[in-house]
Chains A and B, each alone.
Chain A
Amino acid sequence: MPERGALVVEGIAHSYAAPVLDAVSFTVPPATLTAVVGPSGCGKSTLLRVLAGLERPQRGAARMDGVEVAGRPGHVAYHPQRDALLPWLRVLDNATLGARTCGRDRGEARAEALGLLSRFGLTGVESSWPDELSGGMRQRVALMRTWLTPLPAVVLDEPFGALDALTRRQMQGWLLGITASDQRPTLLVTHDIDEALLLADQVLVFSARPARIVHVEDRPAPDERRREHEAGAQHGAVLRILGLLGG
């Protein structure tokens, strides 16, 4: 896979009726994951919608290899907070929707999706309809769809929210392992501070609305994070972030 650039966000500000994002700036280097945590309703999903091109920011810019992406669709693989599966497509067609929409060959995309099924715990349901799946399975189909969408950056809005503890751990393990080899910069919104500390190379802590970055927690390398996580040694960081969110 070719080396890809960083996702650079510069001073993005956005309002609906009231201000939601207040000049947010950060950089996600290639092959790394940046997590965003913050109070509910602070503007995390709004930031992702701006990056996905669904909202035009009032100020600021976001660039991917020098290409403006904020407010311009078609540059970022977007995983919405709701799974947004198309009810009239079977699992495999949903999983390859992004790939096909971005012009990849249908047969190739399906072959790749079939190869991922067991990783995603979806073996045997490839020809089911979405309404036959559990909430957690739907979310994994959606995650697969996002992953197979061949756009140069990935933004994920609480992709593990509906998963049970065990599946969640498996999917976290998969994401932790794939971030470095996938090369794309990944932005992950989550409510789960432990998850952010495990998966992210950098954790952005947002303030309440209008969101500003109040803290950037730099994290060690993936192996070190995994060890910390298993030993339950993230306490210091968790308490620090909780303190920032509470205050």
Chain B
Amino acid sequence: MRTFGKQVLPVLVAVAGLIVVWDLIVRFTHAPSYLLPAPAQVAEVVWNDRALLGKHLAATAQIALAGFTLGVGVGIGVGVLLGWSATLRRAAEPLLIASQAIPPVILAPILIAAMGFGAWPKILVVTLGAFFPVAIGASVAMRDADRSLVDLMTAMGASRFTVLRQVRLPGSVPAIIAGAKVAASYVVFSAIIAEWMGSSVGLGVYLQRSQASYQMDQLFAAVGVVAALGVGLFWLSALLGELVLARSRPASYRKDPRS
């Protein structure tokens, strides 16, 4: 009950406030519903279309989750490699940054042309966006590991690999989790773009169809579902992060009494 009061209630109040403001804008500006539909109208569309929206939501959630998981895994791997070798980092960093300059709208059609309309090209688009913040966060934290701990292990005669496993990697856990949270806030966006560029199912497809047929209320309904999915994924990653942090006990880990 206390977590409800402290964590869920403020969110509900904020969302309710937003809906009230939106409703007031519609009432006072008399905006036509093909430009700005009223909340009640959008809610009705969500309800009537629930089966269809649910199907698309499931498809998008799958792509986003798969891409997120793969992205975090690849990100940790790349981060460890770059933290391991300064030469490798200097060589690879420009390439990594370049990989982030490729807009998903360009990449998605190329991958779809190469790999067909299955889930993989879409998952890869999501992965490409998700691995980056994790890789950068991990590699910086690996490099800047606590000097006195590294010295301690070195004096014992530990190999570079042992130092990596005992000190650098555990010390990077908070940075990896922070990177994963940033990634989690991207993945729904990349999944939608990938679906938009070529797919038969997913919220991106639903959005594209609604837009093409000027169904503003459907578009709003889909945006609401997309937003909820994004927030849900972010919360999930934050929760997982908390669990990992509580287990791995980094130096900076203290339960914040305010949260």
Known pairs A88-B170, A131-B249; A80 contacts B156 (CB<8 A) = no
Q: Is B92's CB within 8 Å of the partner chain A?
A: no
Secondary structure at the A interface, as helix, strand, loop or mixed, is loop
A86 and B154: CB pair below 8 A? no
Complex Cα–Cα for A74 and B155 (A): 5
Contact: B156 with A149, CB < 8 Å? yes
The answer on a CB contact under 8 Å between A74 and B156 is: yes
A84 touches B (CB below 8 Å)? yes
B248 partner, pick from A52, A78, A88, A131, beta carbons under 8 A: A88
The segment out of B2-10, B144-152, B200-208 that lies at the interface is B144-152
Decide if B41 is an interface residue (CB 8 Å cutoff).
no
A198 to B68, CA, bound (A): 61
In the complex, the number of residue pairs spanning A and B with C-beta atoms less than 8 Å apart equals 62
Check A86 against B170 for contact (C-beta < 8 Å): yes
In the complex, whether A5 has a CB less than 8 A from a CB of chain B is: no
- Tell whether, in the assembled complex, residue B254 and residue A84 are in contact, meaning their CB atoms are under 8 Å apart: no
If A87-B249, A131-B254 touch, whether A97 touches B154 (CB-CB below 8 Å) is no
A129 at the binding interface (Cβ < 8 Å): yes
Give every chain B residue within 8 A of A74 (Cβ-Cβ).
155-157
Q: Mark A136-175, 1 if CB is under 8 A from B, else 0.
A: 0000000000000101000000000000000000000000
Q: Which of B45-64 contact A (CB under 8 A)?
A: none
Number of contact residues on A: which range applies? 20 to 34
Q: By the criterion of a CB under 8 Å from any partner CB, how many residues of chain B are at the interface?
A: 22
What distance in Å separates the Cβ of B46 from its nearest Cβ neighbour in chain A? 45
Q: Which residues from chain B contact A82 at a C-beta distance below 8 Å?
A: 148
Query: Which residue of chain A is the closest to B252 with respect to CB atoms?
Result: A87
Given A80-B148, A131-B254, are A98 and B249 neighbors across the interface (CB < 8 Å)? no
Contact (A54, B149) CB under 8 Å given A101-B162, A131-B254: no
Q: Is B158 an interface residue (CB 8 A)?
A: yes
Binary CB contact string for chain A from 71 to 83 against chain B (1 if under 8 A, 0 otherwise): 0011111101010
Nearest opposing residue in chain B for A101, CB measure: B156
Which residues on B sit within 8 Å (CB–CB) of A75? 157
Please pick, from A54, A76, A86, A131, the residue contacting B151 in the complex, using a CB distance under 8 A. Answer: A54
Residues of B within 8 A of A78 (CB): 152, 155-156
Q: Is B250 an interface residue (CB 8 A)?
A: yes
Q: Would B154 and A88 count as touching, CB distance under 8 A?
A: no
A97–B152 alpha-carbon span in the complex (Å): 10
The 5 closest A-B pairs by CB, nearest first: A74-B157, A78-B155, A52-B155, A88-B170, A87-B251
Q: List 20 A-B contacts (CB under 8 A).
A: A53-B154, A54-B154, A73-B155, A77-B156, A80-B151, A84-B148, A86-B167, A87-B249, A87-B251, A88-B171, A88-B248, A88-B249, A97-B156, A97-B166, A98-B156, A101-B153, A101-B158, A101-B166, A151-B156, A151-B157
